Amino acid sequence: MIRGKISRILLSESDIEAKVKELGAQITQDYKDKDLLCICLLKGSMLFLSDLIRRIDMPLQVDVMRASSYGESTVSSGSVKILQDLDADISGKHVLMIEDIVDTGRTLAKTLDLLRFRQPQSLKICALLDKPSRREVPIPIDYRGFEIENHFVVGYGLDFDEYYRNLPYVGILEL
C-alpha cells in the first residue's frame, strides 16, 4: 500500500527541465569528440537519464547498473550490494555516472570503487540532487542539478517503497 503524502513541491517540472537542459549543454561541451558512456544507476535515475541524454548533443552509449536500495525505509542501511552489473566493458571509456540523488554517498562510493578497478579512461558523476548535510563519504560531484536540504524527497524517479517514481516533479514526502 502506498504511504505518506506530498507536503510540498520542491522542484517543479519546469525547474527540472531547465536544469536538465543546462547540464546537457555543459556535458556536450565537455565531452565533445570523446567516446562517452552514460551509466544509469537504477532505478531512481531512469527518468533523469532519459531526459538528460536527449539534451546531450553528440553520439553516446548507455548502460545500466543497479545497487541495493533502502527498501521500505528512508535511511540508508550502510551496506551496499551490486544487484545488477553493467553489460559494457568500460576500460578505456569516458564514463559518466548518472545518479538521482547523493545522500550519505555510500552507494556511489562503493559503485565508483568497483568501476575504477576496471580502468575507465575517465569517471565522472552527474547527480540531479545533492543532500550535502547527510554526507558520510566524500563524493566529488562533477555535474550537480540541485543542492537540497535534509528532506526525504520523491518523484521524478525517486521512490518510497517503489511508489511515487512517476510524479513529474520532486516533492517532499511526509509519512
**Least distance to Mg ion, CB of residue 57, Å:** 26
CA distance 174 to 78: 23
- Give the one entry of ligand IMP, Mg ion, none that residue 103 binds, where binding means its C-beta sits below a cut-off of 5 to 8 angstroms depending on kind: ligand IMP
**Least distance to ligand IMP, CB of residue 145, Å:** 13
According to the binding rule CB under 6 A, does residue 105 interact with ligand IMP? yes
Q: How far is CA 89 from CA 93, 117, 124, 125, 164, in A?
A: 8, 12, 16, 18, 33
Evaluate whether 118 touches 90 at the Cβ level (below 8 Å).
yes
Count of residues that bind ligand IMP according to CB under 6 A: 17
Q: Is 100 a catalytic residue?
A: no
Which 31-90 residues touch Mg ion, going by CB under 5 A?
41, 44
**Least distance to ligand IMP, CB of residue 156, Å:** 10
Dmax (CA) of the chain? 48
Site string for ligand IMP, 9-48 (x = CB under 6 A): -----------------------------------x----
Q: How far is CA 81 from CA 39, 60, 61, 120, in A?
A: 17, 27, 24, 21
Evaluate whether 99 touches 126 at the Cβ level (below 8 Å).
yes
**Catalytic entry in 51, 100, 103, 159:** 103
According to the binding rule CB under 6 A, does residue 68 interact with ligand IMP? no
Instruction: Please list, in sequence order, all residues whose beta carbon lies within 8 angstroms of the beta carbon of residue 117, skipping any fewer than 6 positions away.
Output: none
CA distance 80 to 106: 7
Residue closer to ligand IMP (CB basis): 36 or 112: 112
- Give the one entry of ligand IMP, Mg ion, none that residue 170 binds, where binding means its C-beta sits below a cut-off of 5 to 8 angstroms depending on kind: none
**Least distance to Mg ion, CB of residue 99, Å:** 6
